[in-house]
Chain A
Amino acid sequence: MAINKHHAIDPDKCTACTICITACPVTAATRKFRGPKMTGPALTRLRKLVSDDDPMLDYCSNCKTCDLVCPSGVPISTLNMLAKNEYYKTHPRKSPADDMLAHSEKMGKLITSIPLASTFANLGMTIGKSVGMLGAMGISSNAKMPSYASESFISKFKKIKQTSYQRKVVFFSGCFINYNQPEVGVDMVKVYQKNKIEVAIDENFVCCGSPMVAGGYIDDARVNAAKNAKLLKAWVDKGYDIITACTSCGLMLKQEYQELFDFEGMSEYAEHMYDSVEYLAKLHDEGEFNTEFANDSTEYIYHAPCHLKVQAIGRPSMELLPLVPGIKIQEADAGCCGISGSYGFKADKNPIAMKVGAKLFGKIKDSHAELGVCECGTCRLQMENGSGVPAIHPLTVLRKAYGL
């Protein structure tokens, strides 16, 4: 296939300068991965010519550090993902875990729809781990799997009584918050209410598709993108801003959709999309952020997720959290944690993920902080798993500081 220019994908911009290889956390961990420039722009040219086994495609974790450092604006990781998705149309999958990890929403729906299922599912994970079931499925027994909540965020949201305000946002919770850590969603609503913002949700939103793309199921992701894009555009037309509290969902909806797909209205709604803390930081700039905090003397260490960095929105959490009186918070500044969504859960990739994250784990341990802070759910799991220190969302810190 020739490269379609109607897309925002442009391998022609690559000058082969190799900065992406120098910055790639996976290449640094294993030379089995020749690096983003090779799997992305360089091989994109050759894939038009020949097809071949391409084990390297699976090594890219889609952390997007390459996109961040590229001086030529090449969407390198997206070229990788497109190639990977094209590849699995004609090649057998190596890992039986791919399907499950890519379709986390399906799992989440199934488990939370049956009473007590989450208890059994979580138990199942533990038992499965101990009897080597997960290993057989291609899931690492070393990774900490997310557990399922007994009640979804959407169900909890409906029970929250909100005050109506003029400033309105729609919250795209995403699968992880909805099924695994619904309290983060509740934190978000509470903190936003405290800042005179009314939060809406939309039960018709579906999984953003990020794990599908990373797992090589782009056709499924396209279906989801079409649905979400239409809904999001409609909310923006009604005067709502869009908020995400998962940096991967945010990146996907705001940026990757436009790189991968071609649906109407995407660039329009994207202008009204914010990360949950970024939005509060914007309020702060406008002098409207509520800083009536109680004292918090906890020691925190903050890790900036790759998918936040690549959004080029700075470190809003490091702007706001230090406003809490008494707080001690430092930034880990230790690169990628290694997990990259579902990557680190795969048995064959887990050792790479742990090696990538080693610097971060060391920093967390050495800091003697009581809690890690991070916007990304799977990063938090990896931080806990690698360092033994629990990690929470910055909104949780804010909720506590508001005394809620």
Chain B
Amino acid sequence: MLKTTVVVIGGGATGVGILRDLSMRGVDALLVERDDLGYWTSSRFHGLLHSGGRYAVKDKEAAKECIEENTILRKIGKQCVEATESIFVRAPEDSEEFEAEWVKSCKECGIYAVPMSMDEAFKLEPNLSRKLLSAYRCPGAAVDGFRLLWQTVASANKYGGKAKTYTEVIGIETVNGEVAGVHVRDRWTGEEYKIACDYVISATGSFAGNVAHLAGIDVNVKPSKGTLIAFNHRICNHVVHRLHPSSDADIFVPHGSITILGTSSIDSAPDDTSSETSEVLDMMNIGKVTFENLYDYRILRVFAGTRPLYSADPNAKGRSASRGFVALDHAHDGIKHFMSVCGGKFTTYRLMAEKVCDIVCEQLGVNTACRTAEENLVDGPSDDLMNRAKAVFPSYGAELAASRLGNEKLERVIKRIESRPETKELVCECENVTLAEIEEIASEPSSHTVSDLRRRTRLGMGTCQGTFCAYRSVGAVDKDDMPWAKDTVFLFKEFLETRWKGIRPVLWGNMLRDIELTRAIYDAALNLSGVDEIK
């Protein structure tokens, strides 16, 4: 039987942060995730590494946490963070008094906010609306969710921490009011087994209520859904915020090759990731204030995630470990060594983990101090390795692959191309993903679908949204040594359906033309829908 000291449930930012922290303190830990890492909120988010500016006026504690963690993550997570800086801009409809208060608050929180002339702002961001009135530079940045999660797990791996994906917790076993283990089901084989442990931490975000229920406990999470719009290219090179009290659709984040506009906030079920066209249009109309030609830019897709908001249930004997998130020790509910963690922000994932692990370690009698702020998640590639990469990758590929893969995998991919040069061909032309990279990720035990490859490589996340890379990638993985890739029709459908889900609410203009081409290839030419002849 599998045995560990702590089982962490949930492979979102919160869970992987806890896994790494425990592992670095020498605590034996195993993370189990029902889907793929980052399948839920930790990728269905805005990708903003907050500077704290957004919270400076209303919540100084949160703002200070953000700027501290922002500074740490830019250092330890170099490969996941694009240190773009952010620009806060005030539009004619935004209050001037708020601007003054905001400037003061940023100063109090230690967030630099450097005023600049509008001419300077337009030079930095030529697409900004000429109606804007004032602009400040702040230390915001973009952060890649998938990358941060995988690299955090890679860091935990170095200390013995392990993560199992597609492993769903279906039961929590207690003996005499104390946790004894969890029951899990393998989502691919259906196999059920037990993992014995001394402690269970549920870091299941919006699903924290469901998981606590497995032990008969209530956790009052009220998921709140937010929609995000991804545009085909970088409209801006800095994060751009509206300088006003936080509200919907007031932030643009340049994220890799795309730009993301968000977001909204609607009470929802934990697994509701749908978006309506009307939401998109509302957001576009607000976004237009910042970039007046917004409707000219091509929307690639929309996506939505749910914020795991904890509702302060007056009956819950919670303990607020930090602003914005709760760590609920269920000893108060009659089960020892079971904790639920929810709320918070992606930006503060490391800090949340530190606070949670301080409590857990104390209970486990471990008194090693947290070191997660001191060590990089993964090592950056050496000059030597980058030179080898540049020699084999197509233009623009080396740097992108290096930040996606981290050192070790980069070297393995380079070796693949060195020994079989034809694998440097691009499977995904829009995002510059080589065959070698696809083969490398596909051969890992955590890969079960083309979408899994997508989350690791950005395959299919660019302009054509899978039209050309779907058949290439399925062709690339349909091999004898890839046991998961036998059912190619399933692979196609799974991948394309997830792509289409995000496109349906924005089916107009160029995206509509693009999707008709996709339909022509997959529905008409390949008959993927499997239309039978009338008998």
Q: Which of B254, B397, B430 contacts A42 (CB 8 A)?
A: B430
- A11 and B233 within 8 A (CB): yes
Chain B residue contacts of A18, Cβ below 8 A? 468
- B464 and A16 within 8 A (CB): yes
- A16 and B429 within 8 A (CB): yes
Chain A residue contacts of B126, Cβ below 8 A? 1-2, 4, 6
Shortest A232–chain B CB gap in Å is 27
Shortest B44–chain A CB gap in Å is 22
A185 CB within 8 Å of chain B: no
- A41 and B463 within 8 A (CB): yes
Q: Which of A1, A12, A13, A50 contacts B396 (CB 8 A)?
A: A50
- B296 to chain A: closest residue by CB: A5
Chain B residue contacts of A47, Cβ below 8 A? 396
Give the interface SS of chain A, mostly helix, strand, loop or mixed. loop
Given A48-B237, A49-B257, A16 contacting B399 (CB threshold 8 A): no
Shortest B496–chain A CB gap in Å is 15
* Residue-wise interface mask of B (379-392) relative to A, using a CB-CB cutoff of 8 A (1 in contact, 0 not): 00000000000100
- In whole angstroms, what is the CA distance A53 to B394 when docked? 9
- A16 and B468 within 8 A (CB): yes
From residue 221 to 253 of chain B, which have CB atoms closer than 8 A to chain A?
232-237
Chain A residue contacts of B398, Cβ below 8 A? 52
- A2 and B430 within 8 A (CB): no
A14 CB within 8 Å of chain B: yes
Q: Which of A38, A53, A56 contacts B429 (CB 8 A)?
A: A38
Shortest A265–chain B CB gap in Å is 22
- B395 and A52 within 8 A (CB): yes
A43 CB within 8 Å of chain B: yes
Q: Which of B254, B396, B398 has the most CB of A within 10 A?
A: B396
A54 CB within 8 Å of chain B: yes
From residue 99 to 146 of chain A, which have CB atoms closer than 8 A to chain B?
none
Chain B residues within 8 Å of chain A by Cβ, number = 39
Chain A residue contacts of B359, Cβ below 8 A? none
Chain B residue contacts of A11, Cβ below 8 A? 232-233
- B431 to chain A: closest residue by CB: A46
A295 CB within 8 Å of chain B: no
Given A5-B127, A12-B297, A44 contacting B395 (CB threshold 8 A): no
- B517 and A48 within 8 A (CB): no
Given A5-B127, A12-B297, A16-B429, A48 contacting B464 (CB threshold 8 A): no
Chain B residue contacts of A4, Cβ below 8 A? 126-127
Shortest B35–chain A CB gap in Å is 28
- B513 to chain A: closest residue by CB: A15
- In whole angstroms, what is the CA distance A181 to B296 when docked? 45
- In whole angstroms, what is the CA distance A48 to B298 when docked? 16
* Residue-wise interface mask of A (1-42) relative to B, using a CB-CB cutoff of 8 A (1 in contact, 0 not): 111111000011111111000000000000000100110011
- A16 to chain B: closest residue by CB: B464
- A71 to chain B: closest residue by CB: B513
B432 CB within 8 Å of chain A: yes
- A54 to chain B: closest residue by CB: B395
- B400 to chain A: closest residue by CB: A50
A55 CB within 8 Å of chain B: yes
- B125 and A16 within 8 A (CB): no
- A43 and B298 within 8 A (CB): no
- In whole angstroms, what is the CA distance A266 to B515 when docked? 36
- In whole angstroms, what is the CA distance A49 to B399 when docked? 10
Chain A residue contacts of B233, Cβ below 8 A? 2-3, 11-12, 44-45, 48
B510 CB within 8 Å of chain A: yes
- A15 and B464 within 8 A (CB): yes
- In whole angstroms, what is the CA distance A37 to B464 when docked? 12
- A37 and B429 within 8 A (CB): yes
Chain B residue contacts of A17, Cβ below 8 A? 517
Chain A residue contacts of B390, Cβ below 8 A? 52-53
- A42 and B127 within 8 A (CB): no
- A45 and B127 within 8 A (CB): no
- In whole angstroms, what is the CA distance A38 to B400 when docked? 16
Chain B residue contacts of A49, Cβ below 8 A? 234, 256-257, 396, 400
- In whole angstroms, what is the CA distance A15 to B514 when docked? 5
A95 CB within 8 Å of chain B: no
B467 CB within 8 Å of chain A: yes
- A21 to chain B: closest residue by CB: B429
From residue 390 to 422 of chain B, which have CB atoms closer than 8 A to chain A?
390, 394-400
- B298 and A12 within 8 A (CB): yes
- A2 and B396 within 8 A (CB): no
Chain B residue contacts of A52, Cβ below 8 A? 390, 395-399
A72 CB within 8 Å of chain B: yes
B285 CB within 8 Å of chain A: no
- B432 to chain A: closest residue by CB: A46
- B127 and A13 within 8 A (CB): no
- In whole angstroms, what is the CA distance A56 to B396 when docked? 11
B277 CB within 8 Å of chain A: no
Chain A residue contacts of B234, Cβ below 8 A? 2-3, 45, 48-49
- In whole angstroms, what is the CA distance A347 to B246 when docked? 60
Shortest B155–chain A CB gap in Å is 24
- In whole angstroms, what is the CA distance A174 to B6 when docked? 78
From residue 463 to 483 of chain B, which have CB atoms closer than 8 A to chain A?
463-464, 467-468
- In whole angstroms, what is the CA distance A6 to B510 when docked? 19
Chain B residue contacts of A45, Cβ below 8 A? 232-234, 257-258, 430, 462-463
- A56 and B395 within 8 A (CB): yes
| Subset of 7 A-B contacts with CB under 8 Å | A4-B127, A15-B517, A42-B430, A45-B258, A48-B257, A49-B257, A49-B396
B residues contacting A by CB (< 8 A) are: 125-127, 232-237, 254, 256-258, 293, 296-298, 390, 394-400, 426, 429-432, 462-464, 467-468, 510, 513-514, 517
A residues contacting B by CB (< 8 A) are: 1-6, 11-18, 34, 37-38, 41-50, 52-56, 72
Counting from the closest, the 10 A-B pairs by CB-CB distance are: A12-B298, A16-B464, A48-B234, A15-B514, A45-B257, A54-B395, A46-B396, A52-B396, A50-B399, A45-B233
